[in-house]
Amino acid sequence: MQDEQRGPQPLSRREFVAASASLGALGLVPRLFQDPPSDTDVRGEALGPFLGACELGQLRMWIRSPVPGRFGLDLSWFRAGTLAGGRVSTNKGCVARIESDLCVTQQFENLPPTRDVTVMNLGWGLGVQVPQFDKVDGRDKPFLRSLTQSIPLVCLGSDEFRLAVGSCANEKLGETNPAWKALLAAKPDALLLLGDTPYIDTTELDVQRRRYREFYSNPDLAALMQVTPTWATWDDHDFAGDGADGTAKGKENARRAFVEYHALASYGERDQGIYTRFQLGAADVFVLDTRWFSGTEPSFADATKPTLLGKQQWEWLTRGLKESTAPFKLLACGMVWNGAVRPNKPDYWMAYPHERQALFDFVAKEKIAGVVLVSGDIHRSRVYAFPPENTGVPYPLHELVTSPLGNHPMDAANVASKDLVFDSGDKHQFLLLDVERERLVARFHAAARGEVHRLELAHDDLRPHAAITPLARTDDGGSARTKVVMARSDVEDARLLFLGASTVERWHESTGAAHWTEHLAPLGAVDLGVGGDRTEHVLWRLDHGQLAGYARRLAPPKLAVVLVGSNNFAATPPSTLEEVAQGLDAIAGRLLRALPTSRVLVLGVFPRADLPDLPVDRIPRANALLRERLARRGERARFLDVGDVFLGSDGAVVKELLPDGLHPSAEGYRRAFARIDPVLSELLHD
Residues with a catalytic annotation lie at: 502, 660, 663
The half-sphere exposure of 125 on its side-chain side, counting CA atoms within 13 A, is 21
Beta carbons within 8 Å of 629's beta carbon, 6+ residues apart: 581, 582, 584, 585
Query: 471 and 540 in contact (C-beta within 8 Å)?
Result: yes
State how beta strands 429-435 and 420-424 pair: unpaired
Q: Which strands sit side by side in the sheet containing 420-424, from one edge to the other?
A: 276-280, 283-287, 328-332, 371-375, 397-401, 381-386, 420-424
Query: 494 and 524 in contact (C-beta within 8 Å)?
Result: yes
Query: 340 and 296 in contact (C-beta within 8 Å)?
Result: no
d(CA 240, CA 600): 51
Which helix (DSSP H) or strand (DSSP E) does residue 516 occupy? none
State how beta strands 637-640 and 599-603 pair: parallel
Beta carbons within 8 Å of 635's beta carbon, 6+ residues apart: none
Beta carbons within 8 Å of 116's beta carbon, 6+ residues apart: 79, 80, 86
Question: Between vectors from CA 398 to CA 395 and to CA 399, what angle results, nearest 5°?
Answer: 150
Beta carbons within 8 Å of 232's beta carbon, 6+ residues apart: 192, 193, 194, 195, 197, 258, 262, 264, 287
Closest CA to 66 of 92, 34, 94, 91: 34
**Residue 234, amino acid:** W
Q: Which strands sit side by side in the sheet containing 145-150, from one edge to the other?
A: 88-96, 69-79, 117-126, 145-150
Q: At 617, phi and psi to the nearest 5?
A: -90, -5
Question: Between vectors from CA 346 to CA 319 and to CA 247, what angle results, nearest 5°?
Answer: 65
What are the residues facing 430 on neighbouring strands?
445
d(CA 280, CA 282): 6
d(CA 67, CA 87): 31
**Residue 322, amino acid:** K
d(CA 159, CA 438): 10
Query: 60 and 263 in contact (C-beta within 8 Å)?
Result: yes
d(CA 518, CA 436): 54
Q: At 473, phi and psi to the nearest 5?
A: -75, 130
d(CA 387, CA 367): 16
d(CA 359, CA 313): 12
Query: 34 and 46 in contact (C-beta within 8 Å)?
Result: yes
Beta carbons within 8 Å of 14's beta carbon, 6+ residues apart: none
Say how far residue 61 (Cα) sits from the centre of its chain: 28
Closest CA to 224 of 185, 250, 256, 253: 185
Count CB-CB contacts under 10 A for residue 243: 12
